[in-house]
Amino acid sequence: MKTRKATFVQPVIMLTVFLLFTILTAMVDYKPIGPRGSEVGLAAVNGFLHSYFGYNDLFYVLSKLLGYICFLIPVVNLGVAIRDIYRKKSLFKVGPDVIGAFCVYVLMALCYILFDTVVLNCRPVLMDGQLEASYPSSHTLLAVTLTLTAALQLNFRDRNLERKSRNQKILAALGILVVVTRFLSGVHWFTDIVGGVLLGLTLAALYVPLVRLIGRLFYRDRKKGKKPVRKPRQGHAAARPAEKHEQKEKAVEEASVKKGPSEGPAPSGEENPAPSEKAEDAEKAAEKAPAEDAPSEDAPAEEEKKEAPEE
């Protein structure tokens, strides 16, 4: 897998937006409009929307069911990790896209624990007769983080463009349905839903840079029996053609020496004749041979003279 440079600009921007919105929710128009006098930020907006939509039990149950479907995504990733470990017989052969997804899941769990401990506001309705922490919406946070992370993970896993596009649309629709049904259920303030969306987008934006960073740190050139390929320097690259040319010349010289006649050493004071001189001697000998073997032109006349006296 090709690894690009990991940049965390987008996650930092999203985190900044989330923190600003959280500060705005905690400080602006903070009034006790909730049950048992619980205080909520941006009270005018939250109070109006909650009074308009109210509580809906059907959307509440539907949002919970859709949330359980979202929890299947980490289960699938866990199965992929176990399969990679079983096939490759190593814990370190799991794909960086799977490891990056689990890193996002851990961060998501930490955020859930943090905001469950640090309560900014409570739900607009009592759950089992008790107040519960409401900001940000945990269902919204989980749905946005899991669905978007899975959609981005398909870019690393699935090479079939048509199938990948279809699955990404399904995941996006699932995340949107959870957000909408959770808001219409009336168990959260409007600012809780917005905060959950912003934090989920922040965590999902971390996924791709994390995968690239993990790939560069732990998976670069990690192939059995292969060393990292190093690019040659300019000086070495320029010297290679000259070295190859010299090797070819040496090979030609050795071949010409091997093809020559195996004659004994020349007597002292004499040198072995050069190949060109030997060729000239062979040509002269070939010219003389036909001349000696060919019949002379006067031969027929002499035979006629010998036959004449006999008559």
- 230 located within any domain: no
Q: Which domain holds residue 185?
A: 21-28+41-218
Total structural domains in the chain? 1
Q: Which two tokens stand for residue 297?
A: 């032109």
Position 214 in a domain: yes
* Cα gap 268→288, rounded to integer Å: 31
66 found inside a domain: yes
Specify whether the CB–CB gap between 131 and 120 falls below 8 A: no
Rounded to the nearest integer, the mean pLDDT of the chain is: 78
Distance CA 199, CA 25 (A): 14
CA dihedral 150→155→156→160, nearest 10 degrees, is: 110
Which parts of the chain sit beneath pLDDT 50?
A: 1-3, 223-229, 235-239, 262-271, 273-274, 289-311
- Asked, for residue 282, whether it belongs to a domain, the answer is no
User: Is 141 inside a domain boundary?
Assistant: yes
> Is 63 inside any structural domain?
yes
What is the rounded CA–CA span in Å between residue 261 and residue 307?
Answer: 53
* 52-71 per-position pLDDT tens digit: 888 888 999 999 999 999 98
Structural domain contains residue 300: no
Q: For 10-46, how does the pLDDT look when each residue is reduced to its tens digit (9 = 90+)? A: 899 999 999 999 999 988 888 888 888 888 888 899 9
296, part of any domain: no
Closest CA to 141 of 179, 173, 106: 179
